[in-house]
Structure 1
C-alpha cells in the first residue's frame, strides 16, 4: 500500500507531504490545478524519464519520495531487492526516492541506498498500476494478458513452468550425450591408436624417476671406473693392506697377553680391521651400483625418451600416463555403451515432454473455458459503463511446438470492438481514451484480481460521462478498491465527477494559488464538511448553491 508521497520543488509544488490510507482515495480540483503533477512526481520514483522541466522554476533541484508498506513483500519486489543486495526487515517500509537537478541529472535511492533507475522500473509494476487516457502499460500490454487469464481460470502456472524446465533439462542432457557420442565415434580410430601405443609401452607410475636415477648412477660409474678399479686392486690379494692388517692382528693376538699395552694395541688393530672390512664391502657395493653397462644404459635412455615423448604427446606428466590409459579406455567403453545411455536419456526426454505437453493441453483447455467466462463477466460490466455497443473477446490461440514455452502452448490477447459490425482489435488500439479507461475498469472488476499492484490509479476515467454512468464508475471503483489485495486494497482516482468523488473513503483537494508572479499547487485532505463543499462545487460550478449542497448530501448519504 502507498502510505506517503512527499514532493519538493516539482513544477508548482514547493513542499508537500500526503498520507494515504486503504480503500478508494479520490483527488479533485479545478481543471489546471495541478493533478497531473502528483502523477508526474509518482512517475519519477517509479523510474520514468527525468525531465529537467519538472524542477520548480528558481530551484536547483527537486525530489519525490514514495513510501510503501506491506504485510509481506510481493515476490517480485523481494526478488528484485535481493538481486540488488538491499535488505528490508519485516514490517519496514519500502521507500523510493528520486532527486532531480535542474540540469537534467537525477539520482535514485531505495531505503536511502543509491540504486540505478533500472531497479525503480523493475519494482514499478508490483507497486503502482496506472490507467489513464494514454495508458500503454498494465492491462493494455498483451504481454501480461496470459498471466491475468491464468489467475482468473485457475491455471497452475508454477507446475507448468516446472514441467517445461524439466523437459528442457532432459533435452539438454540427451543432446549433450548425443554430441559426446558423435565426437567420440569420430575420434574412435585415433583413440584406439593412442591406447595401443600406450599399452605397448606399458608405463608405470614412478617409473620415470627410477629410470632417471639409474641412468645417473651408470653415467657416474662410467666416469669413476678407473678410480674404482685402482681401489679394487688395493684391497685384493694376499699382499693387500687389509690382508697385511689381518696378518698383523693374528700375530699380535699371540703375544698380547704379555703386556697390557700389547692388549690395547690388539684392540685398536681389531677395530681398524673391522672398519677396513666395512669399507671394502661398501666399495664393492658402490662398484656394483655404479657398474657401467652400455647396453643397459642405452635401454634406459630409450625407455626414458619413449615415456617423455608420449607424455608430451598427451600433454601430461610421465607419471600420469597410466591414468591417461584409463581415461582412453573409459572413452572407448563409453562409445560401446553410449547407445544404451543415449536411449535412456532420450526416453527420459520423451517422458518429460509428454508430461509438459499434457499440462500445456490442460492449461490451454482451462484458458479457453476461462476466456468464455471472462468475456461474459466483462460484457455484463459494459452496459452500465455506457459501452453497450462494444464487445470484448479473449483470444486464446494454440501455438506450434516451436513456440511452446514455460507458460505453455497458448497465446492470449484481449480484444475489443467498439462499434456494431466492427472487427475486433487489440485493447490498446481503440480510438477513445475514455472508452479505454472504462474498458480497463470493466476488465479489472471482472477479473477481481487478487495479485495486482500495491495501488491502482485511475486518471480521469470518468472524462466525458456523467449521471448514471459516472455513478456506475464510482460504484465499481469502490468495489475494486475493496477487492484489490487481501482485504486492504487501495485505489486512487483523479476525477471530475461528483458521483465518483462521493464514493471515496478519503478525499484530497488539489488547488492552485498565485502570489504576484509565483504560482503554487497545494493538496489538502478534506474532512466531512470539506468533502460536502467540494462535491457541491463539482455539481454547481463556480458558485456553490444550496441546491448543490443538498444534492451533495444525497450523494454522500447514498453511498
Structure 2
C-alpha cells in the first residue's frame, strides 16, 4: 500500500507531496490539473521507462519517491533473495525512489541504496497494482482468466502449477532435442546416399592412370589458352603487320608463338 508520494520537477510540477488516507482515495480535477503526472510518477517507481521531456523545463533532473507499507514475508520470497541480501533487514516500510536527468539518464534507489530498474520492477510490482482505464479488457484474455482462477485456488495450487509448468517446459525442450537428432540422422542418410552414388559413378567410369595423365595435360593446356591466343595474334600481326615493326618483324612474332606453344605442351 502506498503511504506517501513525493514528486520534484516532474513535467509541470515543481514540488508536491501526497499522503493517501486509509480506505478509498479519489483524486479528481479538471484537465491539466496534474492527475496524469501522478500516474507517471507511480510508473517510474514501478520501473517504467521515462518518456521524453518528463523533466520540468529549466530543471536538471526529476525526482520521485514513494513510501510503501511492506507486507510481512514479502522479501523472503525466493525471487527476491538477491535484493534481500543487498538491503539487509527491512521492516514496516520500504522507500523506492527514482531520479531522471534532463538528458534521459536514470538512477534507482531502494531504502536509499543504489538499485536497478529491474529491482524496482520486481519489488514495486508486488507493492502496488497499477491499472489503466481499459484494464478491464484483460479479463477477456484466456491466460488472464486462468491466472485469476489459479490464484483463487491458493498457494499450494500455484506451487503445483509451477511444477507442472517446469515439467512441461522440460518435455518441450527434450522433444526439440529429439527432433534435432532425427533431422541430423536424416541429413546423414542423405549424405551417405550421395556418397554411394558418387562412388558408383566413379566405378562405372573405371578411370585409369593414362586418362588421369591426359586430363592433367589438357588442363594445363587450357590454362594457357589466353597466352596461346595472345601469341597467335602477335604472330599473325608479325606475318602481316598493319604497321612496320622495327623491333624484329616476323621473326620475333613467330618465335614468341613457338615459345608459348612449347610451354602449353
Question: Residues of 2 paired with 1:97 and 1:59: CA distance?
Answer: 18
**Taking structure 1 as reference, are residues 126 and 155 closer, same or farther at Cα in structure 2, changes over 3 Å only?**
closer
Q: Deviations over 1:300-346 (max 9, x none)?
A: xxxxxxxxxxxxxxxxxxxxxxxxxxxxxxxxxxxxxxxxxxxxxxx
SS in 2 for 1:96: strand
Aligned to 2:91: 90
Instruction: Give the superposition deviation at 1:148.
Output: 1.7
Instruction: Give the superposition deviation at 1:35.
Output: 0.4
SS in 2 for 1:125: helix
Instruction: Give the superposition deviation at 1:27.
Output: 0.3
Instruction: Give the superposition deviation at 1:17.
Output: 1.1
Question: Residues of 1 paired with 2:16 and 2:158: CA distance?
Answer: 43
Question: Residues of 2 paired with 1:41 and 1:162: CA distance?
Answer: 33
Aligned to 1:34: 34
Counterpart contact for 2:4–2:17, Cα < 8 Å? yes
Question: Residues of 1 paired with 2:153 and 2:73: CA distance?
Answer: 25
**Taking structure 1 as reference, are residues 155 and 51 closer, same or farther at Cα in structure 2, changes over 3 Å only?**
closer
Q: Does 1:69 align with 2:69?
A: yes
Question: Residues of 2 paired with 1:138 and 1:115: CA distance?
Answer: 31
Question: Residues of 2 paired with 1:137 and 1:13: CA distance?
Answer: 32
**Taking structure 1 as reference, are residues 8 and 81 closer, same or farther at Cα in structure 2, changes over 3 Å only?**
farther
Structure 2 unaligned runs (5+)?
173-265
Aligned to 2:16: 16
Question: Residues of 1 paired with 2:76 and 2:99: CA distance?
Answer: 24
**Taking structure 1 as reference, are residues 102 and 138 closer, same or farther at Cα in structure 2, changes over 3 Å only?**
farther
Counterpart contact for 1:130–1:138, Cα < 8 Å? no
Structure 1 unaligned runs (5+)?
169-398, 404-559
Question: Residues of 1 paired with 2:87 and 2:160: CA distance?
Answer: 31
Aligned to 1:176: none
Counterpart contact for 1:131–1:138, Cα < 8 Å? no
**Taking structure 1 as reference, are residues 77 and 18 closer, same or farther at Cα in structure 2, changes over 3 Å only?**
farther
Aligned to 1:286: none
Instruction: Give the superposition deviation at 1:90.
Output: 2.4
Question: Residues of 1 paired with 2:138 and 2:73: CA distance?
Answer: 20
Instruction: Give the superposition deviation at 1:58.
Output: 0.8
SS in 1 for 2:124: helix
Aligned to 2:99: 99
Instruction: Give the superposition deviation at 1:139.
Output: 5.6
Aligned to 1:117: 117
Q: Deviations over 1:396-429 (max 9, x none)?
A: xxx9x967xxxxxxxxxxxxxxxxxxxxxxxxxx
Q: Deviations over 1:162-205 (max 9, x none)?
A: 8659x96xxxxxxxxxxxxxxxxxxxxxxxxxxxxxxxxxxxxx
Instruction: Give the superposition deviation at 1:156.
Output: 3.4
Give aligned pairs, total.
Answer: 172
Question: Residues of 2 paired with 1:121 and 1:147: CA distance?
Answer: 20
Question: Residues of 2 paired with 1:61 and 1:163: CA distance?
Answer: 45
SS in 2 for 1:68: strand
Written as runs of structure 1 = structure 2, the 5 A alignment for 1:206-221 is: none
Task: Kindly name which structure, 1 or 2, has the bigger radius of gyration based on alpha carbons.
Answer: 1
Instruction: Give the superposition deviation at 1:26.
Output: 0.3
**Taking structure 1 as reference, are residues 112 and 141 closer, same or farther at Cα in structure 2, changes over 3 Å only?**
farther
Instruction: Give the superposition deviation at 1:21.
Output: 2.8
Written as runs of structure 1 = structure 2, the 5 A alignment for 1:131-170 is: 131-135=131-135, 143-153=143-153, 156-158=156-158, 160-161=160-161, 164=164
SS in 2 for 1:54: coil
Counterpart contact for 2:151–2:158, Cα < 8 Å? no
Instruction: Give the superposition deviation at 1:145.
Output: 3.7
Written as runs of structure 1 = structure 2, the 5 A alignment for 1:541-552 is: none
Q: Which structure's relative contact order is higher, taking Cα pairs within 8 Å and 6+ residues apart? A: 1
Q: Deviations over 1:84-103 (max 9, x none)?
A: 62223322x11110001011
Q: TM-score, with normalisation over the residues of structure 1?
A: 0.27
SS in 2 for 1:9: strand
Instruction: Give the superposition deviation at 1:153.
Output: 4.2
**Taking structure 1 as reference, are residues 159 and 16 closer, same or farther at Cα in structure 2, changes over 3 Å only?**
closer
Counterpart contact for 1:8–1:64, Cα < 8 Å? yes
Question: Residues of 2 paired with 1:159 and 1:106: CA distance?
Answer: 36
Counterpart contact for 2:4–2:66, Cα < 8 Å? yes
Instruction: Give the superposition deviation at 1:120.
Output: 1.2
Instruction: Give the superposition deviation at 1:151.
Output: 3.1
Question: Residues of 2 paired with 1:163 and 1:100: CA distance?
Answer: 40
Question: Residues of 2 paired with 1:18 and 1:30: CA distance?
Answer: 18
Counterpart contact for 2:6–2:16, Cα < 8 Å? yes
Written as runs of structure 1 = structure 2, the 5 A alignment for 1:282-301 is: none
Counterpart contact for 1:55–1:100, Cα < 8 Å? yes
